[in-house]
Amino acid sequence: MNVNGKPYRTIWLKQSDERQVQIIDQRNLPHEFNIETIGNVASMARAIQEMHVRGAGLIGAAAGYGMYLAALEASESDDFDQSLESSYQALKETRPTAVNLAWALDRQMAAMARETSPVDKIAIAISTAHEIADEDASFCASIGRHGLELIREISNRKGNAESVNILTHCNAGWLAFVDHGSATAPIYAAHDAGLPVHVYVDETRPRNQGARLTAWELGQHGVPYTLIADNVGGHLMQHGKVDLVLTGTDRTAVSGDVANKIGTYLKALAAKDNGVPFYVALPSSTFDWNIRDGVAEIPIEQRDDEEVTFAQGLCDGALKRVRLSPESSPAANYAFDVTPARLVTGLITERGICEANEASILGLFPEKRV
Ligand code: MRU
């Protein structure tokens, strides 16, 4: 997608030195646009854990490139396999909820296991990293094409003059993937097709990915949006101001239970109560084919309390971090919640739209039947 008219992906190999990876460092967006160069596994693990990169698809792509760096490091060590294994573990421990992380790491390990020499393992690691990234981008583009039809249907029903009002939570935009985004892909596709769309963007406390990232992305693409506080959605739905809730997901069980940024569950409840369709967009890399009870089985990341007790923003031209709560205030920081499948109207995948249940999901992905 474009930043000030220039096309970017969120992660790529440095052109002048293919032993280094470059990312958009998302921590200070939208106030600062910084490119970070990453040359070793420890830095990649830190970038994932401290959320220089974030979002399910991008975490997977970063893990893919991280394993390429791991192969380079292993080739300079005394024991290739042991070095690779410890890099794999270090990357795996960075963030627990988004399943794309383990999926990409395992795909890399399986690819490297098929080769024997370190040189061949490095070669397969880089081509697999590119494959993961390219696939992520093309799957998101397909999600956009399928989701566009859903938006078109609503627009037709509204007579094509009035905007289709879409509420989204957190950032499942191109910044959370390699390109296009999951929840935003249909929105960009609809906007590009000339359909009138307007997005209500939940600010998404505590890290404000909606206010900082989704608002910035939509603005860069010229999509009309309104930033709202996290608790506004229910009120808007009661007053008929939301036609569709569209979110991403960090892990979706094969039963259709959806883990997404904390607060998503409350939006799904409000949508159900008000008869507003609640759709979740995801590439197949975000399905957990082994989990059925999302609430019981999906690990929920808990992050530093200071993300709740402090907030970051621009003040007199400089980025500042300010305390919000009393100094001694205890806090808890649950980063994700699980929306049960019964509240999800449908899933938008790269292969089409299905219902949030095992039969319908496996109907689109029959090769995953056991
Ligand atoms: O904690 P983050 O920023 O990595 O969380 C991920 C998210 O932005 C959302 O939960 C998103 O809707 C799903 S990721 C495509």
pLDDT tens track for 8-35:
999 999 999 999 999 999 999 999 999 9
The alpha carbon of 339 and the centre of ligand 1 are apart by a number of angstroms equal to 14
Section 112-139 average pLDDT: 98
Size (the chain), residues: 370
Do 2-135 and 146-368 have matching folds? no
- Crossing angle (nearest 10°) for helices 56-75 and 80-92: 160
**182-234 confidence digits (pLDDT tens):** 999 999 999 999 999 999 999 999 999 999 999 999 999 999 999 999 999 99
Single-letter amino acid code for the residue at 67: M
Give me the residue label for tokens 């080769």: 115
Q: What is the 65 CA–ligand 1 centroid distance (Å)?
A: 19
CA of 18 to the centre of ligand 1 (A): 28
Ligand 1 atom nearest to CA at 176: 15
Mutate to test the pocket of ligand 1, among 23, 50, 54 (most ligand atoms within 8 A of CB): 54
Please say whether the beta carbons of 268 and 278 come within 8 A: yes
* Percent of the chain topping pLDDT 90: 99
Class level of CATH domain 2-135 = mainly alpha
Q: What is the pLDDT of residue 224?
A: 98
Of ligand 1's atoms, which has the minimum distance to the CA of residue 282? 15
pLDDT value of residue 206: 98
Q: In angstroms, what is the span from residue 310 Cα to ligand 1's centroid?
A: 20
Dihedral through CA 99, CA 65, CA 349, CA 149, nearest 10? 140
Are the beta carbons of 22 and 14 closer than 8 angstroms? yes
Annotated catalytic residue within 202, 243, 250, 288: 250
Helix (H) or strand (E) holding 319: strand 318-323
Using an 8 Å Cβ cutoff, are 221 and 188 in contact?
yes
Among candidate residues 12, 93, 80, the one with its CA nearest the CA of residue 45: 93
> Which of the listed residues 50, 51, 261, 284 should we mutate to test ligand 1's pocket, taking the one with most ligand atoms within 8 A of CB?
261
pTM beyond 0.95, yes or no? yes
Residue 202: active-site member: no
Output the CA 53–ligand 1 centroid distance in Å.
Answer: 10
Query: In 172-183, which positions are buried (b, 16+ CB within 10 angstroms) versus exposed (e)?
Result: bbbbbbbbbbbb
> What is the pLDDT confidence band of residue 323, given thresholds at 50, 70 and 90?
very high
Any idea what the Cα angle at residue 306 is, between residues 300 and 311, rounded to 5°?
110
Instruction: Give the pLDDT confidence score for residue 149 in this predicted structure.
Output: 98
Could you tell me what percent of the chain has a pLDDT over 70? Answer: 100
Give the model's pLDDT for residue 311: 97
Q: Which of 11, 51, 249, 250 to mutate to test the pocket of ligand 1 (most atoms within 8 A of CB)?
A: 250
Q: Hey, where are the domains in the chain?
A: 2-135, 146-368
Distance separating alpha carbons of residues 240 and 234, to the nearest angstrom: 10
CATH number of 146-368: 3.40.50.10470
